[in-house]
Amino acid sequence: MPIFKIKHITNYKYASPIRESANQIILFPIKDDFQKVIKHDLNISNSPDVDIFIDYYGNEVGIFTQREPHTQLKIYSKIYVETIPKALPQDDTFLNEQWGLLSGLSDDVDYIDYLTHSTFEGSELLLETALGMKSEEDTPYKIAVKFCDYVFRHFTYIKGVTTVDTTLEEILALQAGVCQDFAHILTTMLRYLNIPARYVSGYICPNKDGMRGEGATHAWAEAYIPDYGWLGLDPTNNCIANEKHVRLAVGRNFSDCSPVKGVYRGELGHILEVNVSVGYGDEDDDSFETENYFQQKEVNYVKPVASQPSKNSYQRYMDAVMQQQQQQQQ
């Protein structure tokens, strides 16, 4: 089972001193049966206290503020993580049973956010494509792999043609993009067939042939397969996302999983530099050391408290309905 070491540096440079900033980070690898975090060092310039909580989707989220004037904000995350291969689905369940189980999830609050899709210019054509690709013999697993292959073959991987704010309509018009765009298209196609699909952010680890997305944060999709669970699918590389993919966060889209974001008070204008290095745990890598990059002072790493997650739109709607019914009965 491989052990990976990952360095992720985020560096904001401001045009003039800013008065204060409030920031959110999702840089804490998911911990479950298939991913073990051996060590995680987190350093932030000026050493603020970092409060960590669990969000609605189960991600560890850190928040901190910088109240003193500053011209730079540096965030350095260094992790050692072990990944364990996950067996692929046993694709021998009766078709009607699997699709029937999926249809029953449409009112389940645990999956409703992963089934919701929006209408946009070109959505009808994408829906028609998704429906046309499904045959009578396709299980949810088979159609998920088929959709992954479709995105890989019909969209060109080109860096710089899109941004984190690029819409599905624009991606379809370009027929090109990067990993986050491919993941958004794939999750949309899966949801069209009532397969819960979620966006995943993380890192991809190198192999002998090289992989698209190395040297940066990566993104892919997960499809929910009945009697199995969440299956990772990487349309950027047309493969199952398994032990060479390290997961940071899951959500509906990029906005739910952004590794670093925040706001500040000060003049407009800043430069963002991001550096990611991924290697195997038994490799020597001098670039992994950062003695000259940061003041070596540990952040106050507060363990997350298991609290009631915030409710999604469906849950809020149902609460309002129940409250209205109670008022009518009084």
294-323: pLDDT as tens digits: 333 333 333 343 334 445 444 454 565 566
Q: Please choose, from the candidates 58, 50, 55, 54, the residue with its C-alpha nearest in 3D space to the C-alpha of residue 76.
A: 50
Between CA 155 and CA 35 the distance in angstroms is 30
Token duo for residue 53: 């909580």
**Cβ neighbours around 201 below 10 Å, total:** 24
For residues 300 and 110, which has the higher predicted lDDT (pLDDT)? 110
- In the predicted model, is pLDDT for residue 225 greater than 90? yes
pLDDT reported for residue 211: 66
Between CA 99 and CA 306 the distance in angstroms is 34
At CB < 8 A and 24+ separation, what contacts does 106-113 make? 106/194, 109/312, 109/314, 109/315, 111/196, 111/224, 112/312, 112/314, 113/252, 113/312, 113/314
Lowest mean pLDDT among 100-109, 128-137, 288-297: 288-297
Distance of CA 44 to the CA centre of its chain: 22
In CATH, what is the architecture of 95-242? Roll (3.10)
Mean pLDDT value of segment 86-91: 87
Determine contact, residues 307/58, Cβ cutoff 8 Å.
no
Q: Give the total residue count for the chain.
A: 330
pLDDT reported for residue 294: 39
pLDDT reported for residue 128: 96
Determine contact, residues 244/207, Cβ cutoff 8 Å.
yes
Mean pLDDT value of segment 124-143: 94
Per-residue pLDDT tens for 46-69? Answer: 889 999 999 999 999 999 999 999
- In the predicted model, is pLDDT for residue 327 greater than 60? no
Residue 268 pLDDT level (bands cut at 50, 70, 90):
confident
Per-residue burial over 13-22, b = 16 or more CB atoms within 10 Å of its CB, e = otherwise: ebeeebeebe
Q: For residue 22, report the phi and psi dihedrals to the nearest 5 degrees.
A: -120, 130
Name the pTM for this structure.
0.84
Q: Please choose, from the candidates 194, 259, 196, the residue with its C-alpha nearest in 3D space to the C-alpha of residue 231.
A: 196
Mean pLDDT value of segment 250-278: 92
Mean pLDDT value of segment 133-145: 94
Mean pLDDT value of segment 22-28: 97
pLDDT reported for residue 280: 80
- In the predicted model, is pLDDT for residue 289 greater than 70? no
Residue boundaries of the structural domains of the chain: 3-83+256-301, 95-242
- In the predicted model, is pLDDT for residue 207 greater than 50? yes
- In the predicted model, is pLDDT for residue 19 greater than 50? yes
Mean pLDDT of the chain: 85
pLDDT reported for residue 205: 83
Determine contact, residues 203/210, Cβ cutoff 8 Å.
no
Element (H, E) at 237: none
Per-residue pLDDT tens for 140-199? Answer: 999 999 999 999 999 999 998 999 889 999 999 999 999 999 999 999 999 999 999 999
Mean pLDDT value of segment 208-235: 84
- Is the domain defined by 3-83+256-301 classed in CATH 3.40.50.450? no
